[in-house]
Amino acid sequence: MISSGSGSVNGAPRLLLRAEGFAIVVLCGIGFAKVGASWWLFALLILVPDLSILAYFAGPRTGAITYNAAHTYLGPLVLLASALLLAAPGASAIALIWGAHIGLDRALGLGLKYPEAFAATHLGRIGK
């Protein structure tokens, strides 16, 4: 359900998207544990996708495009598939950390950005 003119999801679909994000965090955590990489690596890299926020210095449109590119599941899925095909556990670990970051953002209600404002997301407005 789209709220009137806001371009964001609300109600039960929003709750489902947030629950889906939480499920992704759990699955990525389990996968990361199976890969056997250091949890220090996880702690070190979990916030790296948020560096994409720096693109907002180039303007809101560029910022939103860059932030969204770093916060969609396509990147970590392609990296994970490549890592599995190439038997590269280090790249698998990075892909799982990246996926966990995105899932955590979704679970917290932080969505993909609209170019109008950083606070305008597909999961609703951030803040009041």
- What token pair was written down for 61? 């449109």
Strand spans (E) along the chain: 113-114, 117-121, 124-125
- Asked whether residue 113 is domain-assigned, the answer is yes
- Asked whether residue 87 is domain-assigned, the answer is yes
Check pLDDT > 90 for residue 10.
Answer: no
Q: How many domains does the chain have?
A: 1
- Asked whether residue 57 is domain-assigned, the answer is yes
Full residue range of the structural domain in which residue 100 is found: 11-125
Contact (CB, 8 A) for 120 and 5:
no
The pLDDT tens digits for 18-42 are 999 999 999 999 999 999 999 999 9
The pLDDT tens digits for 43-95 are 999 999 999 999 999 999 999 999 999 999 999 999 999 999 999 999 999 99
- Asked whether residue 5 is domain-assigned, the answer is no
- pTM value? 0.91
Q: Strand 113-114's sheet: what is its strand order?
A: 113-114, 117-121, 124-125
- Signed CA dihedral, 81, 91, 113, 105: sign only: positive
Check pLDDT > 80 for residue 103.
Answer: yes
